[in-house]
């Protein structure tokens, strides 16, 4: 799918918490978008033509709109531009871009997604597509690191997928969870250290550079080969 320039308009915005919101953009011109799950779009965020990249978090089986998950905390040009958009405002977009997409099935024992923060965006698209559209039967596991309980969202949606697809597992991890938090606490790497990580797995990592470096080191130490570790650094 060749990248192209298009105009989209803000159709909906879901405010999850102080840090994260989901934006729904409707295609204006052209009316259709084709992308692979995991790809991103590049949005013009000021009059000088400066741009920022955002992974599409929706299932690629929808073509008249696309969804973005935004972490507002950087408060630079990109996040401020998006935050100030009003319903119906048009944005100038280039996309789809990127090669961080699902790799061909090589018979790996498991597909493992490891995200921190907004790094969940491409994985939501990939997981929905894998389970709902491709009917993936191999085990699919998601580890997702956030800071506090207040940052959590989509946990019910992922839990619904756990209930519906017996091959899907979900592990939210909180680095600063409260005393009451019953699940994994610490960094994502701490959680991974106490779970089985199949050497013959297909791994996708997305988030900040430090997490990707640490998890990659851990995976290689467990016998995973470098070609089976795919990653996208957000910052
Ligand atoms: C391929 C790709 C896909 C991306 N997809 C998403 C996405 O789906 N959702 C999303 O929210 N962001 C995503 N980003 C990050 C996004 O492009 C911007 O970097 C981010 O929104 C900050 O832009 P800004 O102009 O507000 O801040 P800037 O002024 O550009 O950056 C301010 C500072 O914030 C840091 N920073 C960037 N992102 C974060 C973050 N998430 N948390 C904390 N610090 C950060 C930067 O390193 C910089 O030091 C993606 C980046 C890449 C390269």
Residue nearest to atom 22 of ligand 1 (CA): 74
Taking the C-alpha atoms of residue 158 and residue 148, their distance in angstroms, rounded to an integer, is 18
pLDDT tens digits, one per residue of 56-111: 999 999 999 999 999 999 999 999 999 999 999 999 999 999 999 999 999 999 99
pTM over 0.95: yes
Share of the chain above pLDDT 90, in %: 99
Average pLDDT, the chain: 97
39 lines ligand 1 (CB under 6 A): no
Say yes or no to pLDDT of 1 above 80. no
Mean pLDDT of 133-145: 97
Q: What is the DSSP letter of 16?
A: -
Do 54 and 124 touch, CB atoms closer than 8 A? no
Centroid of ligand 1 to alpha carbon of 5 (angstroms): 21
pLDDT tens digits, one per residue of 101-131: 999 999 999 999 999 999 999 999 999 999 9
Give the number of the atom of ligand 1 that is nearest the alpha carbon of residue 56. 8
76 lines ligand 1 (CB under 6 A): yes
78 lines ligand 1 (CB under 6 A): yes
Centroid of ligand 1 to alpha carbon of 171 (angstroms): 24
CATH of 110-233, one of 3.30.70.60, 3.90.1150.200, 3.40.50.80, 3.40.50.2300: 3.40.50.80
CA-nearest of 34, 102, 95, 40 to 68 is 40
Q: 51-55 and 40-44 as β-strands: parallel, antiparallel, unpaired?
A: antiparallel
CATH of 4-97, one of 2.40.30.10, 1.20.1530.20, 2.60.40.10, 3.40.50.2300: 2.40.30.10
Mean pLDDT of 12-21: 97
Taking the C-alpha atoms of residue 201 and residue 225, their distance in angstroms, rounded to an integer, is 9
Taking the C-alpha atoms of residue 191 and residue 92, their distance in angstroms, rounded to an integer, is 40
73 lines ligand 1 (CB under 6 A): yes
Candidate from 25, 69, 74, 125 with most ligand 1 atoms within 8 A of CB, to mutate: 74
Q: 20-29 and 201-207 as β-strands: parallel, antiparallel, unpaired?
A: unpaired
């Amino acid at each position: 799918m060749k990248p192209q320039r298009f105009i989209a308009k803000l159709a909906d915005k879901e405010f999850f918490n102080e840090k994260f919101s989901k934006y729904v953009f409707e295609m204006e011109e052209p009316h259709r978008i084709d992308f692979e799950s995991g790809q991103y779009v590049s949005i013009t965020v000021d009059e000088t033509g400066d741009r920022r990249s955002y992974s599409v978090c929706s299932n690629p089986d929808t073509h008249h709109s696309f969804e973005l998950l935004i972490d507002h905390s950087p408060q630079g040009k990109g996040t401020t531009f998006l935050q100030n958009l009003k319903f119906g405002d048009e944005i100038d977009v280039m996309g789809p871009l990127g090669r961080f997409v699902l790799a061909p099935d090589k018979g790996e024992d498991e597909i493992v997604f490891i995200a921190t923060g907004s790094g969940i965006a491409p994985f939501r698209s990939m997981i929905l597509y894998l389970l709902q559209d491709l009917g993936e039967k191999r085990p699919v596991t998601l580890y997702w690191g956030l800071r506090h309980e207040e940052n959590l969202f989509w946990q019910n949606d992922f839990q619904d997928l756990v209930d519906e697809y017996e091959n899907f597992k979900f592990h939210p991890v909180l680095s600063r969870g409260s005393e009451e938090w019953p699940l994994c606490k610490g960094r994502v790497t701490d959680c991974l250290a106490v779970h089985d990580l199949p050497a013959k797995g297909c791994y996708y990592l997305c988030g900040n550079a430090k997490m990707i470096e640490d998890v990659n080191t851990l995976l290689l130490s467990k016998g995973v080969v470098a070609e089976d570790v795919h990653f996208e650094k957000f910052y």
